[in-house]
Amino acid sequence: MHQEKQEAQDGRILLYEDYNIRVSSQPNVYGEKFVLRLLKKNENIKNIFDLGFPGTEEDLNKSINKRNSITIIAAPTGEGKTTTLYSFMDYLNKPEINITTIEDPVEIRIKGLNQIEIDNKSSFSGSLRTVLRQDPDIILVGEIRDTETGEIAIQAGQTGHYVLSTIHTIDSVEVITRLRKMGLSDYDISSTLATSISQRLVRRVCPKCKVERKFNDREKKIIEAIGKKYNVDFDTSGITYETPGCKYCNNTGFYDRIGIFEILNITDEIKEEIMTGKSSLEIRKKALEQNYKPLLVDGINKVIQGYTTLEELNKKLLVF
């Protein structure tokens, strides 16, 4: 980063032993505002189910690794998209399968993968073109940011590859809207998009200071209302936790985080909705009829399973 420049900048601090620090600066009327993101170096890749991915291995296989298709993970910045992608890669990584990744930057090096890092001279779309000539089985494109990348990613999906990527958007249905806004046709989207996954991170209750208690009537009421809305039977007869805080969790009551997920499988019926130009509202309605469960449902499951609390979930998803 340039010290003397009074303009918005993106940069990195590489001095610290265990962390890469991503820095963003923005001049404002008082001076400059900095946002620093800490990324642990050499962090081990976590198993996708340890990250909180709902369902079984069979469900996972239904959602990823289909030839001639694209899987997109959608979430705002800092909600764990990259970590999930790495877990997927690790899961799919086998000696007989050729996987190439195009990343900005390469955050974790995985043995057996061909990892390409974007620099000032290259772009996702340019690198993707080159990669396609090498005909890998699976391609990870760090992010679909522009029309060109979107178009080539779709092409790659249509020509026998399995493509994994991410998009900055709020949920899995909005992925369709974003792709449409980039100028991709309903035909291309419906014929190639196989799965759209969205996620958020919530804090886990601290294992050292958590105190068991029953759900109170207010919480039960809230959870039951959500269950009714989405046709899910939530069992609130179990326990939840108070989070008083201790030294271990720096008096926050929480330690580490867990992902909550929603998975939109693009079934033939959803393809039909996309093909005929239906709005995201209509697509969501159809998906709900077909057992699509929005983020909130997995969030409530994580509360009932004792990973987090309703208050904590509410900070992310506005439950009540």
Q: Which spans of this chain sit near Zn ion (rule: CB under 5 A)?
A: 206, 208-209, 246, 248-249
Q: Rounded to an integer, what distance in angstroms lies between the CA atom of residue 24 and that of residue 8? A: 7
Nearer to Zn ion, 183 or 207 (CB): 207
Please state the closest distance from residue 304 (CB atom) to Zn ion, in A. Answer: 21
Task: Produce one character per residue of 61-82: b if its CB has 16 or more CB atoms within 10 Å, e if not.
Answer: eebbbeeebbbbbbbeeebbbb
Name the residue nearer to Zn ion (CB basis): 208 or 228.
208
**What does the block give as tokens for 172?**
């899995």
Question: Which among 218, 122, 278 has a CA at the least distance from the CA of 131?
Answer: 122
- Which CB, 119 or 242, lies closer to Zn ion? 242
Distance CA 80, CA 52 (A): 11
- Cβ proximity to Zn ion: between 16 and 248 the closer is 248
In angstroms, what is the minimal distance from the CB of 256 to Zn ion? 11
Q: Smallest distance from the beta carbon of 242 to Zn ion, in angstroms?
A: 11
CA distance 83 to 142: 11
Residue nearer to Zn ion on the CB measure, 6 or 252: 252
Q: How far apart are CB 255 and Zn ion at their closest, in Å?
A: 6
Q: Which residue is associated with the tokens 């929480």? A: 254
Q: Which is nearer to Zn ion, 54 or 245 (CB)?
A: 245
Pick 198 or 243: Cβ nearer Zn ion: 243
In the complex, least distance from residue 22 CB atom to Zn ion, rounded to whole angstroms: 28
* Sequence-ordered list of residues with C-beta below 8 angstroms from that of 126, at least 6 positions apart, any chain: none
Query: If we measure between CA atoms, which residue out of 261, 258, 282 comes closest to residue 272?
Result: 282
Those residues with Cβ within 8 angstroms of residue 173's Cβ, 6 or more apart along the chain or in another chain: 196, 264, 280, 283, 284, 287
CB of 192 to Zn ion, least distance (A): 46
Helices (H) and strands (E) in the chain, counts: 11, 12
CB of 249 to Zn ion, least distance (A): 3
In the complex, the smallest distance separating the C-beta of residue 257 from Zn ion, rounded to whole angstroms, is 14
Nearer to Zn ion, 156 or 209 (CB): 209
CB 199 within 8 A of CB 81: yes
Give the DSSP letter of residue 283: H
| Closest distance to Zn ion from the beta carbon of 35 (Å) | 27
Look up residue 274 and give its two tokens: 């996309």
Q: Which are the contacts of 270, defined by CB distance < 8 A and separation ≥ 6?
A: 190, 264, 283, 286, 287, 290
Q: Between 75 and 258, whose beta carbon lies closer to Zn ion?
A: 258
Question: Could you give the C-alpha distances from 147 to 27, 33, 114, 170, 183, in angstroms and in order?
Answer: 30, 31, 25, 19, 7
